[in-house]
Structure 1
Amino acid sequence: MLETYELLVIILLASFILLIFTGYPIAWVLAGVSFWFVVIAIYGSEYADLDTYLLTSWARFSVIVDRIWSQMQNSVLVALPMFVFMGLMLDRSGVADRLMQSFTRLFGSLQGGLAIAVCCIGILLAASTGIVGASVVLLATLSMPLMLAYSYSKRLAAGVIAASGTLGILIPPSIMLVIMADQLAMSVGDLFMGAMIPGLLLGVLYMLYVIVVTHLFPGMGPPPADAPPMTARIVLDALLSMAAPAALILAVLGTIFFGIATATEASGVGAFGAMLLAAWNRRLDWRCIKDVSYETAATTAFIMAIFLGASAFALVMRNLGGDEFIAHMLRSLPFGPEGIIIVILGIAFVAGFFLDWLEISLIFLPLVAPVVKALGFDPVWFVVVFAVMLQTSFLTPPVGFSLFYLKGVVPKEVSTRDIYLGILPFVAIQLLCVFLVFEFPELALWLPREVYGGAAR
């Protein structure tokens, strides 16, 4: 029979999940639920034996102020607005336009070549922007009309754009990995390098799927009749178009990987480099700086508001004994250690249908990470596997944000049904990548170990 505090933990979690569907902002839901359960704790402790677990006074709850102050002083989180600024500025720099033109000429004569070009550009944007919404909108604006004009399958076009645009949340520099590193007190550099190979692998799997499906069903991605043959000049133009984003990637990731700069310092280098690229392409003016700054402030404020709400929620959850309850539930499962990891990943996958990656990273991940560490798994490996799984949250309805971004900019002939059916194969590919990283831990551990001498699983 469940004890009183265990029932309260379950009711707390259930209340949060149910209130999400009311449409209120997640930050206010988290803070509001936390507040009311503190009220229950304070005024309910005199009627039940709850003092061991609950916050029994407002003074004890006031520790949240210290937690908020600690977050505001956290130098790692300074990287968030800088990476957001870098991504938004790069989207306005004109680099993606040139990439699309050169890659279309490079791959246009191949079966499914335009979709392959989208995957390649998605990888480059991911390694230089990391802003999913901006990447999806940009890829859709540049490539969707072109693919439809050349009689590409609407479902294939929608799926490859939505999936390629989400790579930025996994391939470094990734905002998600910065937040995960902060929540679990881990090295950002270790997570960046641990996610590099799985992120690139996911992009390659997308391209392999496009190649296979367009050769099995040529009508899904026919080559344009007027596409020029591949020449040395076209290849050279494609390489030159990659030079600017490659230099920015090297400036940001290279300085982190080789120990020249921290992630926070590298984010500043990236923001400045994106401004230089915009200036080089004559896209930088005061209006551009103003718009990018406003969007950066709004995005950062949104993230930090959820941080504050999640801090309050985590404080109440821990004082209710939520950590012990969840650890006990996981350890009591009739599976071995790897079976418990599979259950955790399964819960994350299901949660991705209803929650954004940010809420899952801030609430669920810190609760299960101690259990995973106690089971003897390498934390870098687990976080990378978990991050790959969270890729699905962008594509799974009803809360898949990439689907909303895409629907907002595609032509009217591309229906919601086309988008939903188009992403199904790519969700399956994401799950395949999770399986590969799960079964072959070296995909996540080899690069951090070679560079930093990290521990293997």
Structure 2
Amino acid sequence: MSTEILFVALMFVSFMALLFTGYPVAFVLGGVGVLFALLGDALPLMGIDSLPVGTNFLGFATDRIFSTVSNYSLVPMAMFVFMGYMLDRSGIADRLLDALSLALRRVPGGMALAVVLIGVILAASTGIIGASVILLATVALPALSRSGTNLSLSLGLVASSGCLGILIPPSIMLIVMGDQLRLSVGDLFMAAVLPGLMLSGLYVLFVVVLAIVRPDLAPKPPRPEEGASTAEVLLQVGRALVLPLLLMIAVLGSIFAGIASPTEASGIGALGASLLAAVDRKLSWKTVKDVCFATANTSAFLYGLIFGATCFSVVLRGYGGDEVIEAAFTSLPLPPEGVLGLLLFIVFLLGFFLDWMEIVLIVAPLTVPVVTAMGFDPLWVAILLAMVLQTSFLTPPVGMALFYVKWTAPPGTRTSQVYKGVIPFVGLQLLAVALLWLFPDLALWLPGASG
């Protein structure tokens, strides 16, 4: 084993070992990076000079880290976080659930369908998965229970629908991915629209078919004559949808039309969410203070991870880690499609143990350039990776959506019920990955049309 491979392996082993000690991931990543940077500076003094490290390796690493965390492309992250938390305070989910459940009362599994559609609207309004899942669970689980929907199905539905924001723009993950892979955030947003809608459509199809085949899991809605008139339904749905739709058009439409950059659009979103809260008489000094504190807390957490992961990856590259990984991939007896499939499979497995942030910050920058050098479109690969990463929110033992749903679930809910509920939706996510693999234009058509 060469010295480079040995030190690269030691870095990964040290990270994985310390990860299971319970220390915050950001500190583990940064600590391992600093430790091995100091070791890199000490190696020449020990007579080891075969590694590609300089005499001021730690100084080089800190320069690279600062340039990364101060990147202008990360500015929208905090603004979209603010937008999400402000929408959370506006009461949008309650109104949407009432309106959509009324509108879909004649459709099999109407209440469950309403939850999926609210998940899509929340996803297009905020990329904060924790806020979306908790908000959706708080509002939808009691309503699903009253409608007689099976508890496991309700839990899986809420968890998966709340996670649509990881793919549907404005997604925080796509912003970070664009920064790490040197891709346009606007192009990533456009590339993710159709795959995100396709995945939402698969959820809708699954709910409708399940409600028809197994009506005991999603009971039939009341008879049509027991509901409100069509005019009353349309009026209530219009009132609930018009302002959120205007906000989505203002944010995403300005990006897709080239009128505003993602940074400028994030400011529009933050202002628009505040106006929505004001219209609903939910905007107060306490609300602004709480939202600002929550935004600062979440943004600090994300930047902490970016700082630690950048430290780790920069030092890993200093030890020749990118060359080691590139050699490992290119030496495989597989065609380019096989290498890409292997990468996606590895990312899927990593999602059982790591959060999306660690995978995007550590694995993606080291592996995606190797794969795209084989002739694949970078945007397509990035969206494939994003869709696979979406499963990391639903796969135990560290799927964050599972913890959010279990925390807000009715007393007595077992963890096994949450796991059982998400299994079909993980399968649907993998089916969506397969469809995107077979039809790359799902990700490439909108960016190509805009260009």
Instruction: Give TM-score scaled by structure 2 length.
Output: 0.96
Q: Percent identity?
A: 48
User: Does 2:197 align with 1:190?
Assistant: no
**Aligned residue in 2 for 1:171:** 168
User: Does 2:203 align with 1:206?
Assistant: yes
**Aligned residue in 2 for 1:420:** 419
**CA RMSD, Structure 1 to Structure 2 (Å):** 1.5
Q: Distance in 1 between matches of 2:47 and 2:334?
A: 35
Give the C-alpha shift of residue 48 in structure 1. 6.1
| 1:109–1:230 Cα contact (<8 Å) kept | no
**Aligned residue in 2 for 1:398:** 397
**Aligned residue in 2 for 1:270:** 269
**Aligned residue in 2 for 1:111:** 108
1:195–1:436: structure 2 CA closer, same or farther, 3 Å change rule? Answer: same
| 2:61–2:315 Cα contact (<8 Å) kept | no
Give the C-alpha shift of residue 46 in structure 1. 4.9
| 1:140–1:161 Cα contact (<8 Å) kept | yes
| 1:83–1:267 Cα contact (<8 Å) kept | yes
Q: Distance in 1 between matches of 2:47 and 2:150?
A: 62
Q: Distance in 1 between matches of 2:23 and 2:135?
A: 28
Offset from partner CA, 1:358-378 (integer Å, 9 cap, x none): 111111000012212210111
Q: Distance in 1 between matches of 2:33 and 2:9?
A: 13
Offset from partner CA, 1:37-56 (integer Å, 9 cap, x none): 22333334455644332x35
Offset from partner CA, 1:42-78 (integer Å, 9 cap, x none): 334455644332x353x22212332233234422111
AA matched with 2:27: W
**Aligned residue in 1 for 2:280:** 281
Aligned residues: 449
Q: Distance in 1 between matches of 2:231 and 2:103?
A: 10
**Aligned residue in 2 for 1:143:** 140
Q: Distance in 2 between matches of 1:45 and 1:350?
A: 38
Moved more, 173-182 or 276-285: 173-182
User: Does 2:29 align with 1:30?
Assistant: yes
User: Does 2:430 align with 1:434?
Assistant: no
Instruction: Give TM-score scaled by structure 1 length.
Output: 0.95
Of 133, 145, 156, the residue aligned with 1:159 is 156
Matches within 5 A, 1:186-265: 186-225=183-222, 228=227, 231-265=230-264
| 1:109–1:229 Cα contact (<8 Å) kept | no
**Aligned residue in 2 for 1:455:** none
Q: Distance in 2 between matches of 1:89 and 1:168?
A: 16
Q: Distance in 1 between matches of 2:339 and 2:134?
A: 37
Q: Distance in 1 between matches of 2:69 and 2:324?
A: 30
AA matched with 1:318: R
Q: Distance in 1 between matches of 2:132 and 2:220?
A: 25
| 2:101–2:111 Cα contact (<8 Å) kept | yes
Gaps of 5+ in 1: 453-457
Matches within 5 A, 1:222-371: 222-225=219-222, 228=227, 231-371=230-370
Gaps of 5+ in 2: none
User: Does 2:364 align with 1:381?
Assistant: no
Q: Distance in 2 between matches of 1:137 and 1:276?
A: 23
Q: Distance in 2 between matches of 1:43 and 1:274?
A: 52
AA matched with 2:385: F
SS of equivalent residue, structure 1 residue 398: coil
Q: Distance in 2 between matches of 1:316 and 1:146?
A: 50
